[in-house]
Every structure is written in C-alpha cells, then in structure tokens.
Structure 1
Amino acid sequence: MTPALIALRAIVLREALRFVRQRGRFIAALVRPLVWLIVFAAGFRAALGLSITPPYQTYTTYETYIVPGLCGMIVLFNGMQSSLSLVYDREMGSMRLLLTSPLPRWWLLVCRLIASTSISILQVYSFLAIAAIYGITLPWQGYLYVLPALAIAGVMLGALGLALSSLIKQLENFAGVMNFVIFPMFFLSSALYPLWKMAESSELLHDICAVNPFTHAVELIRFALYAQFNAMALVWTCLAGVILLALALWGYDPARGLVRRKG
C-alpha cells in the first residue's frame, strides 16, 4: 500500500474505534431524529398541510416529509461532533503530531473528512432502518441512490466543521459556536418544512433558507431517497463543499493557522 492509503486506513480505523467506544454518541445520534419523527411530527402533522411537490407524486404525511431532513440532521451533527474531536486532539497534541506527517496536509484533512462521512452514513442507514420499522416506507432503489448523496452532503458538512475547528482555539468555545451554527442551519432550511410554506410566513426567511447550503444538502438526500436526481441541489452542495474545504485548508495552513496562533 502507498503511504497515502496507509494514512487513510489508519485515520479511518482510529475514528471508527473512537466511535465504537463512544456508544453514547451513537445512541444520541439516533435519539435526536427519532424524537422529531415520533414526538414532534405527531404535533405538527395537523398544523402543517403538505401539497404534492417533487419528488413526491402523491400526498405525503409529515413524518415521511421530514425523514430526509432528519437524515441531514444526523450528518450535520456528526460533522460538528467530528470537528469537536479535532479541537480536542489539537489541545492534547495528537493533531499537531498528525499534521507533522510528511504527507500533504490537504490529504490528511481529507482523510478525516472521509472517516467522518463514513460514520455519518452508518448512522443514517441505522436511522432509516428504524424509520422503516416505524412505518416510513421508501422506494427500495432510494436506499442505494441515497449513498452518494449522503457522501457528498457529509463531505460538505464535514468541511464546514473543519473550517470552524481551524478558527477556534479552545474546546470550551467550540461548543457554543456549534450551537450558533447548527441550529440556524437546521431550522432555516427545508428539513422540517417546505420552502413554499416558509414563503407564506416571510419572504426574507424563504430567501435565507434558499441560500442555506444545508437546504440543498437535504434536497439532494430527499430526491435521492426517491430515486430521483436534483441537479441544482448537487451543484450547490458541491460548490459549498469546495469553498468550505478551501477555507479549512487555509485555516490549517502553517503560515496562517495553527502555527501562527500557537506561536
């Protein structure tokens, strides 16, 4: 194996072992969306009427509508959680040791993204299995189509976490920034309600939701779950991912990032 592949295997294995040992993290990743699916959806079902809009071809219940958004929630929270571990590793010194590797810094960060995204995909499929038991039925092809959509969304949201972790010095500060980023991104998106419903309340909020990268990630997942392709969502998600990854690489540049702040 080449050194690059050895590093990839080592980083992915390290993150996988950390995830396996943190069973509470896996349970929490499932509890959050399940609370929305089982508890909140029951209350919102009567309040939110949903029209027939793509990718749906018939009337859909609110529980069915929010499943793609809850998949996006899992990916979003896991991306932030993985970045939190980056800040912890930096405080403990293991991140500095990793970045002194002779391998390109961008490759090491991409390896972290791949590891984080892989864990996100595992969590999403676990949630979809529970949702199926609960009675949320999806086309069987959707379970295959959604895999690349989850990978793209996971890289984009993981890159967001990387960019944030490169700017934050202390572990205590990152938790507050996570909440400041996660909740606006989640609630100002199409995860819980369609954009046309938001437009009925406020055109400004609709426009904010429309430019939110998380909205496009959710729509990419939504269409994929119904074995359909959303070109606009794909373009905007990939574009956001490239920009955020560039910001993360810039933040971890020794001339601008960790070395300068530690000096």
Structure 2
Amino acid sequence: MTARHLWIVMRAIVLREALRFVHQRERFVAALVRPLVWLLVFAAGFRAALGLSITPPYQTYITYETYIVPGLCGMILLFNGMQSSLSLVYDREMGSMRLLLTAPVPRWWLLFCKLLGSTIISILQVYAFLLIAWVFDITLPGWGYLAALPALVLAGLMLGALGLALSSFIKQLENFAGVMNFVIFPMFFLSSALYPLWKMAESSELLHDICAANPFTHAVELIRFALYLDFNAMALLWTALATLAFMALALWGYDPARGMMTRKR
C-alpha cells in the first residue's frame, strides 16, 4: 500500500463525510442551536450567580458569556463526534461499514480517515459558532482564532475517537441514543466548560476531583488557553493521552477477532 493509495482512501472517506453533512443541513443548525441557547439564554441567568475572578489565561475580569465560549466550542466537538459515531452504527447495520473494513487498507487508517473527516466538519461548525458569538459582541484576541486551530483539531480527534470506541461496542442503532446521553451529559457538565474548577471545589471536593480527571475538561482548557494565545502543557498532555487511549480502544473494538465484526452476524 503506497502513500498515493492511502491518500486516495483518505480523500474518498473525507469527501463522503462532507457530502453526508451537506445533505443533512439540519445537522448544522442543530449543532449551533445548543451552544447558542447556552450563550444567549442561560448565560444571562447565570451571570449574576457566577462571579468570575482573574484566573489564567484571563488577565482581567470577564463576563460569564466570555468564559463559556471555549466550553461551548467543546460542546460542538463532543456532540458532533457522537453524531458521527451514530452514522457508523447505521452504516454497520446497512452493511456498508463491513464492506469498508474488508478493503485492502490498514484498519487503523480507515478509522483515522473517518475520524479526520468528522473532525474537519466539527471545526467548521466551531468557527461558525465563533463568528456568531463575535456578531453578539463576544470578542476574543484576533490571533486566538488561528492559534486555537491545533487545539480544536486535537480535541476533535479525542472526542471523535471516543465516539468511535463507543460505536464499536453498540450492537443496535436504537441503543446508541441512551449511550450517548449516558456519556455526553456527565462528560459535559462534570467539566470546566460551564464553571471554573475552583467554583466546583467550593461545593464539593469530590466533584472537583471528578471534573479534574475528566478528559473533556483538559480539552476545553486546551482550547481556552489557545484562544488567549497561552499554552497549557498539562491540558495538552492529558488530551493527547486520552486521544491515544480512545483510539486504541476503537481499534480493539473493530478488531475482527474481538469487536463488532464477530458480534454482528
């Protein structure tokens, strides 16, 4: 298998993901509605209740709306990663996934291409959200929009890999919605997406420790620091390790000797 063949496979899979997204316009709208509701509705109510002190990477006091923007970017990546995995379960039931995995291409490359395609779509949605936030006068450092791109890519790969891992162990399409809710909502709410960890520590040390161990917290903090032209080495380390762990789990799940290829008869 030459590099040219690998490139052709990647282009085909990424293009297929893009075409599927284009034909599902409601998916784009839904991806923006959730974070915009938090930004424009819930933030107005929480603004008075949650005072925010000067904490890195912020150099001054900020509004609650400004604080939750990185977390809402993470929300888009999280939901889209799960949505992309839902399509994998559907493809498996229709038989197209089985056909794809029998192609004479390394399985890890096929899964990575699928993951890359969903991540690119997620990042486009994130920048659309950031543009809308800018229209509503929630501005970030100009270069931060560009500096955040690598952080968004890594965070998108991590959350997409988690979705891949989950899809490899779900037998039926009907079961995926329950699993998504079981994963998405605890992962999102038990993180620093909506409130700083020091706020959580004031309420419960146990919840603080759970939030600090949540890989989604580190993905959000990686994006947050990047948007403000700062670097969080610890967040980068844990996000990268979580990406490798989730990807390894997905490869194990899609192994014909163990995963869905043997369970699905």
TM-score, L = length of structure 1: 0.99
Task: Give the one of 78, 85, 88 matched to 2:80.
Answer: 78
AA in 1 matched with 2:40? I
Task: Give the one of 152, 155, 159 matched to 2:154.
Answer: 152
AA in 2 matched with 1:253? D
Tell me which residue corresponds to 2:246.
244
C-alpha displacement at 1:258, in angstroms? 2.0
Tell me which residue corresponds to 1:27.
29
Is residue 216 of structure 1 aligned with residue 218 of structure 2? Answer: yes
Tell me which residue corresponds to 1:173.
175
Is residue 255 of structure 1 aligned with residue 257 of structure 2? Answer: yes
Tell me which residue corresponds to 1:107.
109
Percent of aligned positions that are identical: 82
Rounded Cα–Cα distance in structure 2 between residues aligned with 1:262 and 1:136: 48
Tell me which residue corresponds to 1:92.
94
Rounded Cα–Cα distance in structure 2 between residues aligned with 1:23 and 1:259: 31
How do 1:161-200 and structure 2 match up within 5 A? 161-200=163-202
Tell me which residue corresponds to 1:228.
230
C-alpha displacement at 1:81, in angstroms? 0.2
Give the match's secondary structure for 1:46.
coil
Tell me which residue corresponds to 1:63.
65
AA in 2 matched with 1:104? P
Give the match's secondary structure for 1:163.
helix
AA in 1 matched with 2:79? F
Rounded Cα–Cα distance in structure 2 between residues aligned with 1:84 and 1:179: 12
Rounded Cα–Cα distance in structure 2 between residues aligned with 1:61 and 1:155: 29
Tell me which residue corresponds to 1:47.
49
Rounded Cα–Cα distance in structure 1 between residues aligned with 2:56 and 2:204: 22
Rounded Cα–Cα distance in structure 2 between residues aligned with 1:118 and 1:43: 33
How many pairs align? 263
Task: Give the one of 207, 222, 228 matched to 1:205.
Answer: 207
C-alpha displacement at 1:260, in angstroms? 1.5
Native 8 Å contact 2:98 2:261 kept in 1: no
Give the match's secondary structure for 2:229.
coil
Rounded Cα–Cα distance in structure 1 between residues aligned with 2:71 and 2:149: 15
Over 4 Å off, 4+ runs: none
AA in 2 matched with 1:223? F
Q: Per-residue CA shift, 1:140-190, capped at 9, x if unaligned?
A: 110111000000000000000000000000000011000000000000000
TM-score, L = length of structure 2: 0.98
- What is the RMSD of the two structures over their aligned residues, measured on CA atoms? 0.7
C-alpha displacement at 1:259, in angstroms? 2.3
Give the match's secondary structure for 1:229.
coil
Rounded Cα–Cα distance in structure 1 between residues aligned with 2:177 and 2:96: 20
C-alpha displacement at 1:219, in angstroms? 0.1
Rounded Cα–Cα distance in structure 2 between residues aligned with 1:205 and 1:112: 34
Rounded Cα–Cα distance in structure 1 between residues aligned with 2:204 and 2:212: 12
Rounded Cα–Cα distance in structure 2 between residues aligned with 1:258 and 1:29: 28
